[in-house]
Structures are given as C-alpha cells and as structure tokens.
Structure 1
C-alpha cells in the first residue's frame, strides 16, 4: 500500500490535464505505442501453473486495458485505488454490497438519482437494508437521520436533477462521528471541478458514461478510494459478480478522460451563457444552477468546486405542459436520457430518468426540465433554446 500511496502523492503534484493524459499507462516498451492497447483477450497464458505474467489470468478478474483506466481514474480523483465497472449502476451496486449487511442503515439524498433510489428502495430493502432520505443541503438533517446502525451516507453534489449542493467536508465529519463511510457521487461535477476525497469522503463514485467518457458512446462506472480494506471488498465483488467493462469500453473511457479538462471548460462556458439567457425569460419560473449568486448552495459550491458545471434545470412557468413542449421543440438539444456528452441533451425527469421516484418522497416536480449543455457553438445553443421557448403556447 505504501508504494501505491507514494505514487498517488507523486501524481497529485502534477496538473490535472497532465494526469488525465498520462496516468495509468506508459508507452509500450516494445512498440512505443503512446495509447493503451485494447487487450481483446479473455484469458492469458501462464508460465507454469500459477505463474501469472503481470498478474493477469482471466479477463473478468483483470485486463491490462481496464487496469490502465483504473489507475488513471484513481489519479484524477487524487486517490489510491480505482475499480471500473460495466455501468454506473453496477458500481453503485458493488459499493452498497461492499459496505452494507442485513440490518444496516444508510442515509440517501432526498432528491437522489432515480436509478440509485430504485436499486436501494426496490432491491436492497428486500435484504434487510434500511434507508432514510435527507436533504443534502442540511447537515443537521443528515446528522439527525443517522442511526446506531448507519454504515453509509450517500451524497450527490450537485444533485440530479435539482442541482442541490451538499457540503462534502461537513458531511464527512458527520460520517466520521457516526462511524460510517461517506460515498460521494461526483458524476455531475467530474473530478476536473471537484475532488471529494480531498474533502474527507471515503469513496467517490462516477457514472463514467457521462463526463468522463464524454462522447455518448460508452457505458461504465468507477469507484475510487484510499481505503485498502474497502478496495479489497470492492475488488472481490467486481470479480465475483463480474460486472466489468470490456477492454474496448475501458479504452473509450480512458480516451475520453484525456480531454476532460478542455471539454469541461467549454461545458461550463456554454452553461453559464444559457443560464444568463434563461434567467430573463418569462416562460421560466426559476433556473436551478449553483453558479447563480442567489442559488442556496452557491457559497458551498464556490468553496468546493472550481466552476459550476454544465448541468442545469429549469422549472417552467406554464407547468407540466410547458415543460413537455420545451422538450419537444428543441433541435440542437436532443430529447434523450443521460448527460455529460459533447452534444446538448434535454429531458423531462419526471417522465424519464426519475420516473421511478413517482409517488415517493423523492418525486421530482412535473414542471422540471433538465439540460445537459454540450460544447456546440454558444450562439447556436442559445438560438435553439430561444426558438423553442418562443413557440410555447
């Protein structure tokens, strides 16, 4: 562990873009290939029984391309151990199973991602896991939700889709005092804008499908931690359950990470321009974006994020029907689930990504529209939204 930690410390001294491009792989000593090869092999030859070359035996257990991605992810989150999964939900499932046992309790956001809520509410409760929703914006409410059997506090910040902001350092102190672990879903911010491990989190989770992959062409998930014992438990489940990415998926994700910094700068630029434009429109009741000075989480976001991201939501003055009209009228903004790709996306969370929360205390407003602002020309992005809003009856 000492050698790995020293390597992580050395990487942390380099700039983000340098680590994103170089961490996890050195040019191949035989061919000089500067990009990690796609090791499309399901099994690996052994030098005698148990004589593994580089530690590889079977691709579910380990693959050189995946290993490079895992080291890269650990580096950009300034962590020690990274584990890659076939999807963000596979990573979520592994994290919950590694940390919880029947009879345990966890605290979740009261506006958690719909898939996370569905997994906990519909699956883990069948196995004796209890949960309590609490607002991520209220540290006292999170503290009050903790019980004697609480083993995990799950934090999204900013949250999906309401863009609420949680104070990672403050919640980390709550978790520490309760003898629980803090997991931060960092998907919306990305490690370019926010690094939860440096603020006291125990684990960082990503749907790498989103900003890390960045091109809407690969599905994946990542967990990063400094906890050697917890990493061992996660690695056991990764291998035992087999929810791993293939080598091509790992390659695509790693390729995406190389340009994360420059992409996020453009996502943020465009999102800020969209927020400015939407804030003055009569069709918009409110804009939800941490970069706004009057956003309730602005001060915390400014403290723990370098910028405010490419995600925003709006509540429509015309209610549900106006929300659906906006989603149907855009041309550059594609009506689709997911987020974080180079292209702009728009969706109605109540009927799409968060439909599983309907009828629960996590149900999202039906006048809500979520925007994932891409990296197209700013003028075209703005013009598309303006024409869509102009046509709402």
Structure 2
C-alpha cells in the first residue's frame, strides 16, 4: 500500500487488529493502574505508572504510524517542546526560534533556558533562511507559523542547518501528519500539540515528540520519566479515540477552508486574508511543494479591533475561544495575547460544520461588523 494520507488513515483504523485475541474488545480499554503485578525480575514488564502505561503505548503506536517515526506522548504540546529543550540542550548552547511563532515557546526559553546558560535569537518565518545557522545547536521552526501563517522552506532550512551542525525541530501543530510531514522534509524532530485537531473535541491537553534518531528519543524519554512530564491514561485514551477520526475531520476542515478563504478575501469588510491555499498568498507556491493540504486556519484582518470583536462575538457559528482545531469553528483576536499582528487580525479555525451554512453565518456577521 502506498504511503499517502489516505493509505495511512486506512491502516490506522486497523492497527489494534493484529494484537487482538478472540473475544478481546475492539475498542481500546482504559488502563488507570499505577502499580503492576511484578514478582521476580521486572525487566521487560510494566513496572510503574511514571515509566509506562498500556494506554500510552496504544496512542503512541498510532502517532508513530502517522509520523513514520517513533513517538512519545506528553501532557501538552508545550510539555513536548520542553522535553526536547531540557532533554537535549546544555549550558553554552545557542538556539534559533521563530519571532512570529507560538509565543509560549519564546517565553519558556527566556524565563528558564537562559537561566541555565542557553542563549537564543529570533527570526521571522518568512525570512528564516536569512543569516544562516552557524553557531546554533538547535533550530526551531514553525511552518505555517501561528498565528500569522507565514511559511518557510523546510527542505532548505534543514539542509542549511544540518550543514552548520544544528538539529532542526519542527512544530507541526497547525498541519498534523496528514497535512505535512516535516521528518520527510529533513527535520530531526517533530513536536505537536495534539490538543488541537488530532484530539479534535476540545476536551483534553496532549502533545507528542517524534524522531527517527534513537539517541534523541532516548534522551527525551529519559527526561519524561525522570522529570515526571507524563500524560494521564484517560487523556491518552481520549486522544486515541480522536485520532481514529482525524483524517475525516481534517479533510472536511481543509475542504471547507479552501471554499471559504476566497469568499472572505472578496468581502468588503475584510482588508486582508492569509491562507496558503489562495493563489494570491505569498506562501502559496511553497505550500504546494511541501504540504499535502493547505490546512484549516485562516488569518482574517478586519478594519479595527471593534470590527474584529463584533465579527467573532456576533457569529452564530463561531465559538469565541483560544486554541484551534476543534469540530466547531472558533476564532479569536490574537493581538489580545500580545502577538505582533494587526489589532483587527482574527485567527479563524474552520471546523466541521457544513460549508454553505458556515459561510452564510460568517457572511452575515461580516455584514454586521461593517456597521
């Protein structure tokens, strides 16, 4: 079977089949144990809840299948990122971060890594190659960047960073493994917040790290075990269930985003739209080259803060909330968190509502927001 998103989705639905004995439940059982029956030599067996859990194992098997690389689960996307930083970096190391990516990664670095002797620089995603990568131990990319949706050339970044002796970490939260495969494009490590589309129901925090480098995964695994940054079994069970429908939801969300983005761009209340699927988007050609889909996030800039707030709050089919990737369409004005975006910039996360009904609600709210 070929390695396409559809082929991976088809196999994902049957991963448990090979492990089932006659009479076993098809659905994954939830294992809440912290202690395991362990007489004699404990080697090769489940030992303690901070070391391993059968429910973790199952969701990590799914993530490994989707990433095409060993994956480890964490209690949030930031926990996954922190495990990479604290598991791999040492005093004297220098790292590069996107200046327009998720702000918490920069805050974590400034407040905690710098205390340990790690230095950092930032650079815009759209010009991430400018200046080269000499002297960096680790290069962290987020493409498309959250929230502005700029894109960098992952293949070129990875080649240049590796030539300079740096590791490349790619945050793939906005795209999921069905939309983009950073490891196939040269990245050493993928981190992601499965809180978003992979779980998809806005009811659990989760994240993962994936890499084809055994030494990297051993270091990240040791950090998780010793620092205790472990996922809960129930959270892992919920993400396992969410992953079973990710392909269906992601396809619906991407299709709807592609239908709605040009309509938003044509509306008189909208001054600017960022969406990689638009031919007019500055990242469109690069997105076509390195992404399987264009994603479900749309950046919409309205004329003012007040217009943006009215658009979000008055739309019957928008959930005003932070985060993204749920089955419901959601939106927020990102400047309220301090992101370097226009005061009227709205990050719109397209959900699973029927496209025509969703557009009708968005258009009605846009028309009112002009007043």
SS in 2 for 1:137: helix
1:372 to 349, 352, 357: 349
1:240 and 1:331 map into 2 onto residues whose CA distance is 47
Provide closer, same or farther for how the CA distance between residues 25 and 165 of structure 1 changes in structure 2, counting only shifts above 3 A.
farther
SS in 2 for 1:197: helix
What TM-score do the two structures reach when normalised by structure 1? 0.90
- Residue of structure 1 in register with 2:42 after alignment: 51
SS in 1 for 2:243: helix
Gapped runs of 5+ residues in structure 1? Answer: 1-9
- Residue of structure 1 in register with 2:332 after alignment: 347
1:25 and 1:119 map into 2 onto residues whose CA distance is 41
Provide closer, same or farther for how the CA distance between residues 105 and 190 of structure 1 changes in structure 2, counting only shifts above 3 A.
same
1:24/1:72 contact within 8 Å kept: no
Provide closer, same or farther for how the CA distance between residues 373 and 307 of structure 1 changes in structure 2, counting only shifts above 3 A.
same
Provide closer, same or farther for how the CA distance between residues 243 and 26 of structure 1 changes in structure 2, counting only shifts above 3 A.
farther
- Residue of structure 2 in register with 1:383 after alignment: 360
1:27/1:33 contact within 8 Å kept: no
2:118 to 129, 132, 142: 129
- Residue of structure 2 in register with 1:5 after alignment: none
Where does 1:194-233 land on structure 2 (aligned, <5 Å)?
A: 194-233=180-219
SS in 1 for 2:279: coil
Gapped runs of 5+ residues in structure 2? Answer: none
Aligned-pair distance for 1:162? Answer: 0.6
How many equivalent residue pairs? 369
2:185 and 2:254 map into 1 onto residues whose CA distance is 22
2:134/2:165 contact within 8 Å kept: no
2:318 to 310, 314, 333: 333
Aligned-pair distance for 1:256? Answer: 1.0
Cα RMSD over matched residues? Answer: 1.8
- Residue of structure 1 in register with 2:58 after alignment: 68
SS in 2 for 1:69: helix
What TM-score do the two structures reach when normalised by structure 2? 0.95
2:131 and 2:66 map into 1 onto residues whose CA distance is 28
- Residue of structure 2 in register with 1:7 after alignment: none
1:156/1:185 contact within 8 Å kept: yes
1:175 and 1:55 map into 2 onto residues whose CA distance is 40
Aligned-pair distance for 1:32? Answer: 2.0
1:252 to 238, 248, 273: 238
Aligned-pair distance for 1:266? Answer: 0.4
- Residue of structure 1 in register with 2:74 after alignment: 85
